[in-house]
């Protein structure tokens, strides 16, 4: 029988890996992708949807082209992995055997991370950190804010998916409020003393949204937070504020199936940089946010880059095809205001120890409007490119 690769999770890591193995092995390897949703909404550009720059349909993608490209797409949840028997069990019943298993389940939230919040409160206080209905809910709440109301965000501790994501979101919320609700306020309680592209965001906030955004870092009590979803209050360092919208982004860990497979240590799954195989099992690979790989940020770009390295290695292991040395790259773009894009990025290589940064770049403060517009346009090109790379 043909070798069988099972991929769990059809996001930035999993969809890319499934597509590349099916495409490059030209039918020599059977590939199954297990993903519960029929439409995958990208978290990337979901902030632009909240800011009014995209429609929800612009960020939704289906799996039909992957299926037509030879990937067996199964819409179900993987609920267990038996590594001795090399099988994956499905919520809908039955199980599937594999020669190689690739897990790219993204993130789940650490329970009890924000006092007063749990997943049952996500309708009153959305996270919008898995895109789709949560993004639509947060946007609806933003649009329903009374004039002069308060939008609060509880930002997450490191490490989490998309380091600039919360701050791009603050920018997009401010962009919406500036046009529609100019006396409204934004408060951010942050458990960290600093954040990704901080100088660029703070410059952009001062230039475009003067006085609207109050960022409270851990040096100022931003790490002493609790919420009350029933009363719609946020307590920051003992000071209780009544708010109209509260976006709680809790601490994160690897998607639960990685834990169930027994390949995590603490919150994440340690992997070997050369091929993304787990330290726990050479036939189980973990990609993207769920992996603990070294220097790369948890991003869609990173997950896609890791997936190509993994697909090449898995195909090599199963068919004897040539395996190229692992090279990785990442860029995280953020939109601060209309045509005002900034970016940070790096290239990486595999060492015995980890994915190690080779060199990097970041936008400068004080750049011209032309440069910022070109950076934003680059991000549009990246979005079309990565979604075509994932879904065909
Ligand atoms: P995901 O893409 O989340 O895919 C995981 C998939 O696994 C999901 O579809 C899920 O349904 C499925 N799944 C989970 N458990 C199971 C199971 N048990 N069985 C079957 N399927 C399962 N990245 C960028 O590069 N650029 C950006 O501009 C950017 N902006 C962002 C903005 C926001 C607001 C957020 C939240 C994130 C952003 N990111 C961005 C980060 C990016 O979305 C993630 O890093 C990326 O999606 C990670 O890919 P992944 O494959 O690890 O997980």
Categorize the per-residue pLDDT at 1 as very low, low, confident or very high, splitting at 50, 70 and 90: confident
pLDDT, average across residues 330-340? 98
Q: Which pLDDT belongs to residue 252? A: 98
Q: Could you tell me which of 101, 84, 113, 144 has the C-alpha nearest to residue 14?
A: 101
Q: Which pLDDT belongs to residue 372? A: 98
Q: What is the DSSP string of 74-111?
A: E-S-EEEEETTTTEEEETTS-EEE-SEEEE---EEEPT
Q: Phi/psi at 292 (nearest 5 deg)?
A: -110, 100
* 93 pLDDT above the threshold of 90: yes
Identify the residue whose C-alpha is closest to ligand 1 atom 12.
9
* Pocket test residue of 90, 106, 173, 381 for ligand 1, highest count of atoms within 8 A of CB: 106
Structure tokens at 222: 């931003």
Specify burial of residue 137 (Cβ count, 10 A radius: 0-12, 13-18, 19+): middle
Structure tokens at 187: 């408060």
Q: How far apart are CA 303 and CA 21, in angstroms?
A: 15
Handedness of CA 233, 140, 127, 184 (dihedral sign): negative
Q: How many A from CA of 192 to the centre of ligand 1?
A: 23
Specify burial of residue 263 (Cβ count, 10 A radius: 0-12, 13-18, 19+): buried
Share of the chain above pLDDT 90, in %: 99
pLDDT, average across residues 69-87? 98
Structure tokens at 68: 């037509």
Q: How far apart are CA 312 and CA 320, in angstroms?
A: 10
User: What does the pLDDT look like over 237-265, one tens digit per residue?
Assistant: 999 999 999 999 999 999 999 999 999 99
Residue appearing with tokens 């002069």? 148
Q: What is the mean pLDDT of the chain?
A: 98
Identify the residue whose C-alpha is closest to ligand 1 atom 3.
106
* 352 pLDDT above the threshold of 90: yes
User: What does the pLDDT look like over 26-44, one tens digit per residue?
Assistant: 999 999 999 999 999 999 9
pLDDT, average across residues 345-362? 98
Specify burial of residue 57 (Cβ count, 10 A radius: 0-12, 13-18, 19+): exposed
Work out whether strand 233-236 and strand 225-228 pair parallel, antiparallel, or are unpaired. antiparallel
Give whole-number Cα distances, 182 to 5, 170, 210, 319, in Å.
53, 14, 11, 60
Q: Could you tell me which of 64, 59, 62, 30 has the C-alpha nearest to residue 46?
A: 59
Q: Which pLDDT belongs to residue 377? A: 98
Q: Which pLDDT belongs to residue 209? A: 98
Structure tokens at 162: 């998309």
Q: How far apart are CA 380 and CA 195, in angstroms?
A: 24
* 207 pLDDT above the threshold of 90: yes
Q: Which pLDDT belongs to residue 133? A: 98
Q: For 106, how many CA atoms within 13 A lie in the half-sphere containing its CB?
A: 17
**Secondary structure class of 190 (helix, strand, coil):** coil
First to last CA, the chain: 27
Q: How far apart are CA 371 and CA 176, in angstroms?
A: 23
* 383 pLDDT above the threshold of 90: yes
pLDDT, average across residues 8-27? 97
Structure tokens at 297: 């940020």
Residues 273 and 355: beta-carbon distance below 8 Å = yes
Share of the chain above pLDDT 70, in %: 100
pLDDT, average across residues 16-22? 98
Give whole-number Cα distances, 97 to 84, 86, 87, 90, 111, in Å.
11, 6, 4, 11, 32
Identify the residue whose C-alpha is closest to ligand 1 atom 6.
9
What length does the chain have?
Answer: 392
User: What does the pLDDT look like over 272-305, one tens digit per residue?
Assistant: 999 999 999 999 999 999 999 999 999 999 999 9
Q: Give the ligand 1 atom nearest the CA of 131.
A: 36
What residues does ligand 1 touch, defined as CB less than 6 Å away?
8-14, 34-37, 40, 43-44, 46-47, 77-78, 104-106, 129, 161-162, 165, 169, 255, 257, 287-290, 298-301, 303, 332-333
Q: Give the ligand 1 atom nearest the CA of 287.
A: 52
Q: How far apart are CA 349 and CA 72, in angstroms?
A: 32
**Bridge partners, residue 80, by sequence:** 89
Handedness of CA 188, 194, 195, 199 (dihedral sign): positive
């Amino acid at each position: 029988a043909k070798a069988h690769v099972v991929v769990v999770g059809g996001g930035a890591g999993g969809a890319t890996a499934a597509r590349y193995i099916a495409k490059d092995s030209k039918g020599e390897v059977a590939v199954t992708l297990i993903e519960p949703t029929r439409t995958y909404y990208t978290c990337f550009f979901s902030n632009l949807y909240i800011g009014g720059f995209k429609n929800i349909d612009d960020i939704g993608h289906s799996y039909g082209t992957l299926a037509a490209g030879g990937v067996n797409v199964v819409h179900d949840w993987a609920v267990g992995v038996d590594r001795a028997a090399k099988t994956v069990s499905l919520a809908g019943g039955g199980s599937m055997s594999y020669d190689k298993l690739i897990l790219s389940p993204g993130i789940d939230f650490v329970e009890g991370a924000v006092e007063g919040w749990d997943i049952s409160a996500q309708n009153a206080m959305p996270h919008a950190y898995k895109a789709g209905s949560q993004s639509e809910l947060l946007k609806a709440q933003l649009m329903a804010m009374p004039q002069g109301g308060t939008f609060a965000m509880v930002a997450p501790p490191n490490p989490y998916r998309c380091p600039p994501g919360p701050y791009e979101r603050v920018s997009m919320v401010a962009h919406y409020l500036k046009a529609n609700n100019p006396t409204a306020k934004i408060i951010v309680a942050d458990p960290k003393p600093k954040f990704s592209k901080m100088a660029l965001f703070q410059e952009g906030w001062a230039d475009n949204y003067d006085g609207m955004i109050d960022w409270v870092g851990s040096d100022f009590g931003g790490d002493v937070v609790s919420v009350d979803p029933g009363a719609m209050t946020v307590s920051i360092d003992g000071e209780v504020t009544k708010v109209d919208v509260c976006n709680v982004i809790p601490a994160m860990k690897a998607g639960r199936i990685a834990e169930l497979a027994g390949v995590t240590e603490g919150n994440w799954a340690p992997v070997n940089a050369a091929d993304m195989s787990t330290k726990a099992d050479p036939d189980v690979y973990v990609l993207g946010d769920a992996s603990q790989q070294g220097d790369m940020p948890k991003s869609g770009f990173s997950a896609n880059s890791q997936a190509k390295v993994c697909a090449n290695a898995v195909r090599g292991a199963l068919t004897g095809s040539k395996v190229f040395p692992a090279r990785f790259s990442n860029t995280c773009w953020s939109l601060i205001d209309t045509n005002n894009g900034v970016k940070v990025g790096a290239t990486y290589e595999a060492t015995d120890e980890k994915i190690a940064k080779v060199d990097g770049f970041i936008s400068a403060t004080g750049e011209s409007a032309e440069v910022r517009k070109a950076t934003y346009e680059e991000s549009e090109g990246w979005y079309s490119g990565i979604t075509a790379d994932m879904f065909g």
